[in-house]
Amino acid sequence: MNVDIFARQMEALNLRLNKLYQGANASPSPPIEHLLPVAFKELGIVSEELQVAVEELCQQNQELAVVQVQLQAERQRYQDLFQLAPEAYLVTDINGKIREANRAAALLLNISDEHLIGKPLVVFVASEERWQFRNELNRKRAGDRIPDWKVHLQPRGGEPFEAMLTVSVVRDGEGRPTSLRWMLRQIGTRELIPIPQQTNNDAKSLDSAIQVYAKGEIIPLNPQSIWQVHRGLVKLTTICETGEEVLVGLVGDKMLFGASLTALKTYQATAMSKQVQLVEFSLAEIASDPHLAQTFFEQINRRLKQTELLLAIFAKRRVQDRLQHLLLLLQQEIGEFHKEGTRLKVRLTHEDFANACSTTRVTMTRLLLRLQQDGKIAFDSDRHLILKYGCF
């Protein structure tokens, strides 16, 4: 029963009551003993019909409440799919101002999704291409589907990279454009090379392939798979509320990382070595292989221990104490033998050390210079840090 039907029933009931009232006032007046039974009968009928109408409305309200809950759950499901999509997606107005962004977009642009909202997409385009980007957008958004085109995107605090943009136009009922939907795909330098014959049981078969990433390249994170480092070092970071990068993990040979191994909304993996070789395992593949799952459990346990050590470092009140314990951790994770001590296999910048210790680059430069002057650290010809014997 809808509101219109209920209103018509109420109108009919009012007409019947009005006729009863007019009959009661008619001349000559009928005897009271004849009028009362008729009045009570009519009132009883009216009461029953109102009760039925109220029950029908209550039932419909319950059904509407159930439908509303289902619609809300469906909306949340699609929102989750949007957020967890492996590709970077954005929704902007017709002028390119960002309204919505998923997790992959935040990682790709190296900024939290909350801070993305309200920013023009053009600010993440390399400065020398912004004029061309605006012209291209103005020229192409008249169509329902804009042809893909390449631009160089500039992530926050990172190096520019080439990306492919796919854009579609959303229109209202009258055909007027209201918003734009974007998919951003990084065009990386990955190449596929065959994995050599392995003897360990947890290695992938010969028909598998290693994916190679160059230093500084952002590694895509698929929520349905896990990366294993075959060779090299990967830096895992997040973005805090102030927009600063915070180190949350260093992943070396045989270690694991992936979107399914974190609860952080903003999570980015960056290649730190000149060449990082990775092998991708699907979650279904791991679940179906007990031996592989056991091997990965041991590697995840190693990551957990490293995370606890990083937390302990962040808890140190003095920056110099954080740096000292960070160097000890790096010595353990990526250290190799050197005639003067332990050499870090990967060249880390002062900015990397500063992010790991939650301080500024200027402060970190001063502390590293002091350690170098005290003879506790040194740098080789490739600017790799060396921890001197007996100093750590």
Domain limits of the chain?
A: 3-81, 88-186, 189-196+206-314, 316-392
Sign of torsion, CA 165 151 236 357?
negative
- Residue 47 has a pLDDT of 65
Paired with 231 in beta bridges are: 277
Residues 278, 214: Cα–Cα separation, whole Å = 11
What's CA 220's distance to the chain center, in Å? 12
Q: 316-392 belongs to which CATH class?
A: mainly alpha
What is residue 193's predicted lDDT score, i.e. its pLDDT?
A: 38
pLDDT of residue 196: 39
Q: Are 80 and 125 in contact (CB under 8 A)?
A: no
pLDDT reported for residue 26? 58
How many Å apart are CA 201 and CA 191, to the nearest integer? 25
Q: Which residues pair with 170 in a beta bridge?
A: 179
HEC profile of 149-195:
EEEEECCCCCCCEEEEEEEEEEECCCCCEEEEEEEEEECCCCCEEEC
The pLDDT value given to residue 227: 92
What pLDDT is recorded for position 192?
Answer: 37
Residues forming a β-bridge with 213 = 276
Q: What angle do CA 218, 225, 182 make, to 5 degrees?
A: 55
Do the domains spanning 88-186 and 189-196+206-314 agree at the CATH topology level? no
If phi over 0 gives left and psi between -120 and 50 gives alpha, with beta otherwise, what is residue 216?
Answer: left
Q: Which residues of 39-54 are buried (b: 16+ CB within 10 A; e: fewer)?
A: eeebeeebeeeeeebe
Q: How far is CA 24 from the centre of its chain?
A: 74
DSSP 345: S
Are the C-beta atoms of residues 211 and 190 closer than 8 Å to each other? Answer: yes
Domain 88-186 fold: Beta-Lactamase (3.30.450)
As averages over each run of 10 residues, the pLDDT of the chain (392 residues) reads: 60 65 57 58 65 73 72 60 69 89 84 84 88 78 63 84 84 82 72 40 49 88 89 86 79 88 84 88 84 82 84 85 89 84 86 84 90 90 84 66
Residue 119 has what DSSP assignment?
Answer: -
Per CATH, domain 189-196+206-314 is 3.40.50.2300: no
What is the number of alpha carbons within 13 Å of residue 10 lying toward its C-beta? 9
| Amino acid 30: pLDDT | 54
Nearest-angstrom CA–CA distance, 69 and 66:
5
